[in-house]
Structure 1
Amino acid sequence: MLKQWRVFPVLVLAFLLLAFVYPPSATAEEAGAFSLEQAIRLVKANFDIPQEYTNFTSNYDSYDGRQTWSLHWSAPSDGGSFHADVDARTGEIINMNTWRPAPEPGSSAGSPSVSLEAARQTAEELLNRLAARHVRELQLLPIDDQLIPLNNSGPPTYTFRWQRLVNGISFPADGATVTVRGDDGRVTNYSLNWTEADFPAAMGGITPEKARQVFAEAGMLELQYFLPAPVKPLAAGEKRPVLLVYRLSHPSQGLIDALSGQPLNLGNGAWFDSGGRSEVNLEMARKAAALQDGVPAKLLSPEELKEIEKTAKLISREEAVAAVKKWVDIPTGLTLRSANLYADWQDPEIRTWNLTWSSDSPENGKPGFMSARVNAINGELMGFDLPITSSGNDKEVKLDRQAARRLAEEFLQKVQPQRFKEVRLDENNPSGGAPTVQYFNYRRLVNGIPFSGNGINITVDAVAGRITSYNLNWGNFDFPAATGILDARQAVETFLQNRPLTLSYTRIYRPGSTDGGEIRLVYQPLGNSPFITSNMIDARTGQFLDWEGKPIGRQPRPYRFNDIAGNFAEKEISLLGQAGIFGEYKDAFHPDEKVTVVSLLRAMLMSRYGVWGYHDLKDGEILQRAREEKWLKENLEPGAAVSRELLAKFLIRYLNLERVARIEGIYRVPYRDSSSLNPETLGYAALAWGLGIIKGDGFTFDPAHDITRAEAAAALVRTLQVKQ
């Protein structure tokens, strides 16, 4: 989750930056757009979407003269997903990608069963079906030098790329890509980039020799020192190597105008390698949506129909723009660049229009862009942002903080009269910036208690005397009553019991200081344990909470077991404990206790995927994940004991060797009881013995023997050491 949260702002920023450089988009009505229903039918007519992908959502994007339906199907419990983008103006599928969890890491390693030629035929058939009118301008790029990874991270894949030729000249920004799995021949990715534009004639340009001369004389390459990013954590005292390189640093990014013979001017934040979409015969696309190869269109699911119904009730883009203009003056010279309709990531029931405006030729001192958000259900203004045009050195401040606050609150009383009664200004962060810019954070109050997760933020340009940003974050939640909680005194006692005030030195840094900070002697609440680092405790239980609101004591941590000294598996148990595995009893291991099915499977999952995400799963969820991994095929209770026979099966499946183990008539084992072993068990026992995973007592296999936690730990570590 955290990774997703970190990545999301980056993707949003990149998308907004793209929107600023594109020309205004036409309305969906002007383009004769495909409806959401037509888009769904088109995708389902061309691709098989697994029936278990019952979750369905859609987004509508409008930018660069293009309108796009983004359709997303997924399984309810992380069982895979299918995504497709349809150009709502042309009725053309422009992107598709699908993902399924690998049945088992390593299961698809090895030589692909689908040949390169067969995969290419599959890719070409798809391209001819989805982009027939573009094929004559596409050239397949060589695939001979493409690596086909054969590892444990997923199946081998073939990727085919076609580049567009215009007037016989390549246009790298445009083309098509198809990815085909090498194990079953399924297409997992398809994308088409196509630009509708006037291309200059290829006449009267400079020669390649002249371009080479211009490149050299312009100083495109600069000699630099370069510090690579680390690929692994550095050991104590280890330093990353510094490299001496030449780097392309020219403002043109290496582009030379072929007609003028001069480096291309890429100022004002411009960049190259942007793409577009194409037109296609709407009538043909509609027929394809209704009928594919003579087969009636597949029925829409209840979830898809529900999404269509929801979208039909939302306000239009024009109504969203009008909602912004009701409260905010859009600066002159700005043109609407994009209008995107999306579901809120925290609450999919909330739909929002995200609007952006920008100028092709921004003037100094005037806003060059603006963005705004509008609730697509009720037209409520959710936020807007304008650049602060005054510099930090401006001395003519029109508004002091009190005047800026009056301006902000007059605006809130108009745009949010009811919610303004339910917020309180956070005085703990009065400004957050220079006097030229004033920030105001109004926290939401519920039952008189601040709710920092919701509120309103406003920024005032104190020089220009105007509001430059407004953001409303307000959700619908069920708030528990403030009953049965610790009082203030109890909370302090509980907090300091685990983070006692400790006399210590600390360094104080101040803005603008160049003396390295000031050393002060202070008391500060330092934790008794290095694992207690939270600033929050549960108001009812007094437990410290992490950023997910879970008790901090349940976070993964290494274990130094205090009851394994002298045990035959001491080394292996310690290794697993250091990795945060087998921590059911905290710092005690209980080596002679019988290991349970759920304990062993949890340890196996943690050893393969890491402890995060598995340490706090419920027993039933662990068994389900083990079934998904195909390690668990028996009908067992979580607390059941693990026999030696079952241990061998679990670990051989972990190594993806079950198919080999099930071959009968080829195995011999050096056990006295080998003749009594079930023929179905013999292969597992032989492989486990041959790989050094399980030796039994050295004389007999004894398949019914209940495995102890120490024996399970030793066998698991030996399994991890098997070369795959």
Structure 2
Amino acid sequence: MMKKLFSLTLAMVTALGLMLPASAAEETTDEALARVTQAVKAALDLDTDAYDEFQGSWYEDGLTGAWDLYWSTELEEELSISALDDGTVISYDLGLPYTASNSGDFPVFPQGDEAAAARAAGDFLDKVLREGESVKLEEPRGMDILGGDSYRYSGVILLNGLPSPLTYSITVDAADNRVRSFHRTTAEDTFLGDVPSAAAAVRRDRAAKLLTDTLELKLEYVREAGGTSAVLRYLPVDTDTFYVDAATGALLNLTELEDQMGGWGAGGSADNTAAAESEDSGLSPAEQAGIAQMEGVRSSAFLDQSLRAEPVYGLTEYALSSAAYRLAEQEGKEDQVLCVLSYVRPGEEDSRSRTITVDARTGAVQEVFSYAPGMEEGETPALTQAEAQVKAETFLSALCGGRWSALTLYDGRDNTEDRRPYYTFTYVQQVGGIPFPENRYTVAIDSGDGSVYRLDYQYDEDVTFAGSAGIVGETAALAAWAGTYDTVLAYRLVPRPLESGDETEARLMELGLTHFYELRLTYALEREERYLGIDAATGKPAAPESGDTAITYTDLSGSGVKADVEKLARYGVGYDGGRFRPDKQLTQWDLVALLASLEGYCIDPETADESTRDTVYSVAYRMGILPRGTRDEGRAVTRGQAVKCLLDCAGYGPAARLQGIYTCTYSDAAAIPEADLGYAAIAQALGMVRGSYQGDRTATRGELAAMLCRLLERQGANAGA
């Protein structure tokens, strides 16, 4: 929200001549730079003697300004710091010289000490945060993926121990626990005025009552995931955002207050229809010719003539510019052939266009999309919203046939208030007086000539609906819904009118603003979990599907490689499908499928179709798992071949192929061929194979997982060394 505001104001603030801070008026620019540089070095305990060059400059950003300080060396180490004029550090970026890895791009298990990283982050934050500011380090990101090399923390800055709109992020290198970057927002460029007291005069329970009284629910049918049955659910009504002022107890409608900011607060809505285009999935001329020979498919000339015969589509002054046929697959039904007819109406200044998609066999209209220039300021639409609604209902009653009796108006919008040249109406199916919005028709009516500006619909006749007997009442549902929230006391941004007596506010008023944010201590409803609504049958909150894509297995109990397989799975390496089959003899396809998951291609090798297999083999060739032309999915893979494949992928191949320099202590070392001795020795040094080498024996899936796990562990240790 605030980023949009400041990106818009930056150029204008600069044009108005925001000067150096007051202290700079009493000192030269070089003196001010020296003062701030010394303050920053003292705050961070910086020793900058090793840097060869230093530069500093002042820049203006939004409501305040900052100094950019930059150090560098001939070895390409760089340090960039931004600070306010009082020395407050607002950004820190440490760039180190590039060092090439000798292990190629092969991923590694992350190596680091989370406790040490947290201490480093905390120590740094203690140096840069102001009095009254603090943070609670949340769980870091960055080390939960293969190749992770840093701990990344982010969150809100607490003011007087309470959450605030100020945010921070900090990154700590996992190898040496040095802070690599830090960024924060400040009060100066976020709100006007001071930070209020943290003492609330209003009790939490009183605020909770005021806030929960603003909640509204509506009873609707929703389809169960992946099925054809619909259940009843109380869904939240999209209402305004409310706070309760903790000092006065006033209920604040933040949505209305931000509307007074004239679009500067939240981002203005865009006309999404302007970005819509007909699908670029048309068939080639040869394919169109083939489709034209299909029984029942009409020519574009016939379809165009049929549309022009219907005045409701308003095509009198439009010319047909193109027609494209395409196939639309329908599950369980004959594929549908669609024809997309595009029309244009040239104008002196702005042209208009209309695209109509029809069933190429029946001519039934499937979709309408139009573009027309927005209405001029002060222009009055030729039709009222009520007149447009009559035209919408007349059109839909003819289009929908028997469905029309089950449809009712769900949403009607006067888009002309935003100078758009149409009104929009959405009609949805009702079952026993309860809406099912998934079955819907949306039609927009041109406010100038009453034609159909847009049409979009979906309707599934096969949905079955649960009965309404025994469902919980709305009062109980509202109570359950309110119970999913916590009433949280925090500092929040609230718009207030600007006053010309203040220099900063006067400058904002010159930019055209009438309101800007101040910081208030408020209560608001918040929750960590996401809920869709209240299940009307049980009265319990309905949670969305977890979308958990973590790899889990049901067949590892008692397996000696259980720990290794599960460790790989934590980083997304493994097989999909729920079974690993650790004792299964390893095939080339098993090996390829497992190693491809290192790059995110997690599949079930037992059920993958031919297209998926082709994709995974392409990944294998690119990764160097095997050369092109050697695909043989069912071929058994020996332990020695698995070792070679892994070490070659990890970049050890050239060293392993050196002759006459390796020894190893396997119980069967004498039986290892000279050509394989380097691979066997490196595998032993890395802990991939222990005891006997048994290079000629067919490996198992579990043995491959254990080898890969040891390799990723040692690779990570080497990378951090």
TM bin, normalised by shorter chain, reads 0.3 to 0.5
Task: Please identify the structure whose Cα radius of gyration is greater.
Answer: 2
User: Normalising to structure 1: TM-score of the pair?
Assistant: 0.40
User: Normalising to structure 2: TM-score of the pair?
Assistant: 0.40
Bigger relative contact order, structure 1 or 2, given CA contacts below 8 A and separation 6+? Answer: 2
